[in-house]
Structure 1
Amino acid sequence: MSYTIKDVAKQANVSTATVSRVLNGLSGYSKETEEKVLRAIKELGYMPNAFARGLVSNKSNTLGILFPEVSSQFSSKILRGVEEAAHELGSSVIVCNTASQGQRTMKYLELLSEKRVDGILFVSEKITEEYYKQLKSMKVPVVLVSTESYQYPLPFVKVDDKHAAFTATDYLVKMGHRKIGMIGGNIEDVIAGQPRVEGYKQALANHELSIKEENIKHSKGFSFKDGFNSFPDLIKSAPDLTAVFAASDSLALGAVSSAYRLGIKIPDQLSIIGYDNLPIAEMAIPPLTTVAQPLEQMGKVAAEMLFTMMSKGIIVESRIMPHSVVERESVKRI
């Protein structure tokens, strides 16, 4: 049997208005009355209608999160952190897969507006003027994750991509390598593509090593396929390399697979370091040395920032998260 708020009021011997105030955390009743209402709810197994409660409180108790590729290990780790924080704070999460180059971003932003979400997490995609106007019109807090905007005043949670790429390249130098190549993502990507190349070049410059453009291969993206296809071109143009920095774990593992096809042994003949520390990095053969982003923690911190903005109506400070090298077996000291 499905019970209504009237049944709860009758069971507790109070008015329906009092039950509504208890459900929505409003004032105007005694502790004794609250206990009576909660006891009646438990006895009847009453389930409040979330939409109806939202009409009263003007809150939907839902967050929207937009990913460019929701099925990736990168996205799943961030989502795990977001859902942990959301669950602790009594909210649900609506997940949107915007697809490559944000083909469906506007469609999902409009959907989230219709669903009256309380806040939005925008992951790993550039904020365009069109997106910003839509977000601003929704009048809800927004936090960027693994991306940032120099143009629009939106708080973010991310690793310093340039610094992390510097750390990866610097690690290879400290392992004795002097001829270091790079497989990067899309060079037009100002969020992750350009900064990671800049970090690689900065590390070489700091060690007074030559920077050669033929030692860098830019891909369309950061996928396994991109790494697999870029690696032969890199080795052809720079056959004397002893190490490669790949700007994502997927790129790195694509390169490892391509190296296997070419008969190049990792790390005996060539060392490779990745970027992200995805679960697959530990499963690879050989296990991949990589620069770790604390993706799950980034998701949790971003959600907590969003809840602070929602509850206090303030703009929070952006957060740069720490990165670190996770040593495994794909880099050899020479």
Structure 2
Amino acid sequence: MTVTIYDVAREAGVSMATVSRVVNNNPNVKPQTRKKVFEAIERLGYRPNAVARGLASKKTTTVGVVIPDISNNNYAEVARGIEDIATMYHYNIILCNADKKKEKEIRVINTLLEKQVDGLLFMGGTVTEEHMEAFRTSSVPVVLCATSDENNAMPGVDIDHEKAAFDAVSVLIANGHQKIGMISGTLEDPANGFARYNGYKKALEKAGIPFREDYVRVGNYRYESGMEAMNYFLSLEDRPTAIFAATDEMAIGAIHKIQDQGLRVPEDISVMGVDNSRMASMVRPKLSTAAQPMYDIGAVSMRLLTKLMNKENVEQVKYVLSHEIINRQSVAHQA
């Protein structure tokens, strides 16, 4: 049978109110009484009913986190940042994988809100009007994490994806490359897709390099799509001398396809990525990339959410963290 607070009170010889105060870390309990209650809890194997406590306090000390791809190392790093700050502020997290599919994202958001979470962190793709409607009807704070809405109406933490792409492509241009192909994410994705595509175009424009439609292929952020796009570029009569990929995973796919065809990176074709995932330093040659501070994005997002949940004074609800260009071995000077 389930052990109740009444059983603990009887075992310890105290009132149920005293047991409640001990469980909730109320300081107004004598050390000797606190010791008796904890000993009774241990003997009986009592576990406080989180649902009942949530109903009484109107708080569950639980945060819902919507993540696009739980198998992606980058999002795992964001989740680590979230978890560490959540633990520091005594919150538990419920992590839900949504595969960057709108219908699943909406369903997961609503499910988490129905679970009476105290707040919600959303990592996803395109923030549509349907997403915004779910956020607007939420009775708890919502913070966007590593993504942003089109009108910047929601609290959120991210990097400047357009500037990160611009800086990455500028490295290729500074190394003398004029024929630069891009493996883009879907252009419906405002951050990893369209913003990085825009940054690529603006870097070319600033350098006076004509934009070529045939030098852009759209991938799905995955390794296989990087290989497929690179296979296309290698088939061109006037092929690129450098490739900018919107994610490291696609960049690594491109490197392997180049090597499969008996060519060398960076001697024959240079490759630049974005993210600075763990795989970027494992691949050979090591991948040059624009690094996102993934852990910091998660940590800052969670800290912002704790402030909003606790109705603290918040002067800033939009944070754009700095990216960094990491020069490794995959980019060479074009003679």
Q: What is the TM-score when the length of structure 2 is the normalising length?
A: 0.90
Distance (Å, rounded) in 2 between the aligned partners of 1:61 and 1:96: 17
Q: Are positions 1:244 and 2:243 aligned together?
A: yes
Maintained 8 Å contact 2:233/2:239? no
1:249 offset after TM fit, Å?
Answer: 0.5
Distance (Å, rounded) in 1 between the aligned partners of 2:245 and 2:52: 50
C-alpha offsets along residues 310-332 of structure 1, whole Å, 9 cap, x if unaligned? 01166651110110111221111
Distance (Å, rounded) in 1 between the aligned partners of 2:49 and 2:144: 31
Secondary structure (helix, strand or coil) at the match of 1:285 reads coil
Equivalence for 1:199 = 199
Equivalence for 1:260 = 259
C-alpha offsets along residues 111-149 of structure 1, whole Å, 9 cap, x if unaligned? 212211111111032222222222333311111112111
Q: Which moved more, 1:157-166 or 1:83-92?
A: 83-92
Equivalence for 1:43 = 39
Q: Aligned pair count?
A: 329
C-alpha offsets along residues 65-89 of structure 1, whole Å, 9 cap, x if unaligned? 1122111112211111111111111
Maintained 8 Å contact 2:221/2:247? yes
Equivalence for 1:109 = 109
Equivalence for 2:170 = 170
Q: Give, as a single letter, the amino acid of the residue that structure 2 aligns with 1:15.
A: S
Distance (Å, rounded) in 2 between the aligned partners of 1:202 and 1:135: 33
Secondary structure (helix, strand or coil) at the match of 1:70 reads coil
1:25 offset after TM fit, Å?
Answer: 6.0
Secondary structure (helix, strand or coil) at the match of 2:289 reads strand
Q: Which moved more, 1:53-62 or 1:31-40?
A: 31-40
Equivalence for 2:98 = 98
What does residue range 178-193 of structure 1 map to in structure 2 within 5 Å? 178-193=178-193
Maintained 8 Å contact 2:66/2:123? yes
Q: Give, as a single letter, the amino acid of the residue that structure 2 aligns with 1:269.
A: D
Maintained 8 Å contact 2:125/2:190? no
Query: Considering only aligned residues, what root-mean-square deviation do their CA atoms show, in Å?
Result: 2.3
Provide closer, same or farther for how the CA distance between residues 241 and 228 of structure 1 changes in structure 2, counting only shifts above 3 A: same
Equivalence for 1:128 = 128
Maintained 8 Å contact 2:126/2:188? no
1:2 offset after TM fit, Å?
Answer: 7.1
Q: Give, as a single letter, the amino acid of the residue that structure 2 aligns with 1:101.
A: K
Maintained 8 Å contact 2:68/2:99? yes
Q: Give, as a single letter, the amino acid of the residue that structure 2 aligns with 1:17.
A: A
Secondary structure (helix, strand or coil) at the match of 2:164 reads helix
1:212 offset after TM fit, Å?
Answer: 2.0
Distance (Å, rounded) in 1 between the aligned partners of 2:134 and 2:74: 26
Secondary structure (helix, strand or coil) at the match of 2:191 reads coil
Secondary structure (helix, strand or coil) at the match of 1:140 reads coil
1:56 offset after TM fit, Å?
Answer: 1.4
Distance (Å, rounded) in 1 between the aligned partners of 2:36 and 2:132: 46
1:285 offset after TM fit, Å?
Answer: 1.7
Distance (Å, rounded) in 2 between the aligned partners of 1:310 and 1:32: 26
Distance (Å, rounded) in 1 between the aligned partners of 2:154 and 2:163: 22
Distance (Å, rounded) in 2 between the aligned partners of 1:245 and 1:95: 32
Provide closer, same or farther for how the CA distance between residues 175 and 42 of structure 1 changes in structure 2, counting only shifts above 3 A: farther
Equivalence for 2:149 = 149
Structure 2 gap segments, 5+ residues each: none
Maintained 8 Å contact 1:215/1:238? no
Provide closer, same or farther for how the CA distance between residues 238 and 331 of structure 1 changes in structure 2, counting only shifts above 3 A: farther
